[in-house]
């Protein structure tokens, strides 16, 4: 059987840590060339590039924040000139801060919303334009169960992830006219740096709360993501698929 993503060209936002890094490696193993952006850690970027290249695939890394619209447009052009149009996009980059709403500062709110919501426009638009010209593509957004369940997480984070669901559903209808599918994964709690910004009481409850009895592993989500953006997943569009270890609702 051929690889899931053989011959594909993917871009993953926030590709140096946790779920993003796992997606980069699994996509490369499944046959895709993978580009990604990151915010600060050059050492982590080099490590991810090495893992991609170890699977015999091409890798590109860009130190461009997901809030830098000009930088992202330039990056998208550079990738296209090097490889051709991107046909898989994963919006993964996100931040969180353990805040109570009553004490959330303007700065904290703006940081989370700008990074998690405004980046959807900044990252997606240049690659989406490439996809609609080619009339092929898959966009996958990594949202959170915190967007659809009443969990003790920060209000700004839940709000930002809820916005991603609306973005997914609405864009999917427009994109379908051009042969592009748009779906999302509502991730539970995975063993990542971001997860450890959650309230300690939530992490303590987690093993009891989910039927799997543990945190998810980033590579577990990445394996499912690879199928979701593959051509074998040809009839799903505008869906939010929950991957959370079997949480009690």
pLDDT in tens, 41-98: 999 999 999 999 999 999 999 999 999 999 999 999 999 999 999 999 999 999 988 8
% of the chain at pLDDT higher than 70: 96
| Active site members | 157
**How much is the average pLDDT of 94-114?**
94
**Is residue 225 scored above 90 in pLDDT?**
yes
Q: Which residue has the tokens 């046909």?
A: 87
Q: How far apart are CA 58 and CA 53, in angstroms?
A: 6
Q: pLDDT: is 167 or 211 the higher one? A: 167
CATH number of 9-242: 3.40.50.720
Is residue 97 classed as helix, strand or coil in its secondary structure? coil
Q: pLDDT: is 214 or 114 the higher one? A: 114
Specify the pLDDT at position 166.
98
In this prediction, residue 210 has a pLDDT band, given cuts at 50, 70 and 90, of confident
- 66: CB partners within 8 A, 6+ apart: 13, 14, 37, 39, 72, 93, 115, 119, 122, 123
């Amino acid at each position: 059987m051929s690889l899931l993503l053989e011959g594909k060209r993917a871009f993953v936002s926030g590709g140096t840590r946790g779920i993003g890094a796992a997606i980069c490696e699994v996509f490369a193993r499944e046959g895709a060339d993978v580009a990604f952006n990151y915010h600060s850690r050059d050492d982590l970027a080099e490590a991810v590039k090495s893992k991609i290249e170890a699977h015999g695939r091409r890798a590109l890394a860009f130190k461009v924040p997901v809030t830098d619209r000009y930088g992202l447009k330039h990056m998208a052009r550079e990738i296209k000139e090097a490889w051709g149009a991107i046909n898989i996009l994963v919006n993964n980059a996100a931040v969180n801060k353990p805040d109570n709403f009553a004490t959330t500062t303007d700065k904290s709110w703006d940081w989370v919303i700008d990074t998690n919501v405004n980046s959807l426009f900044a990252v997606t638009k240049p690659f989406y334009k490439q996809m609609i010209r080619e009339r092929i593509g898959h966009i996958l957004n990594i949202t959170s169960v915190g967007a659809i369940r009443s969990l003790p997480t920060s209000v700004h984070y839940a709000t930002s992830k809820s916005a991603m669901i609306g973005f997914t559903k609405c864009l999917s209808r427009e994109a379908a006219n051009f042969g592009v599918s748009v779906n999302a994964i509502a991730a539970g709690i995975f063993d990542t740096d971001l997860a450890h910004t959650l309230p300690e009481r939530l992490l303590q409850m987690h093993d009891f709360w989910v039927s799997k009895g543990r945190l998810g592993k980033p590579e577990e989500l990445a394996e499912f993501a690879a199928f979701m953006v593959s051509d074998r997943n040809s009839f799903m569009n505008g869906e939010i698929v929950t991957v959370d270890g079997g949480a009690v609702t």
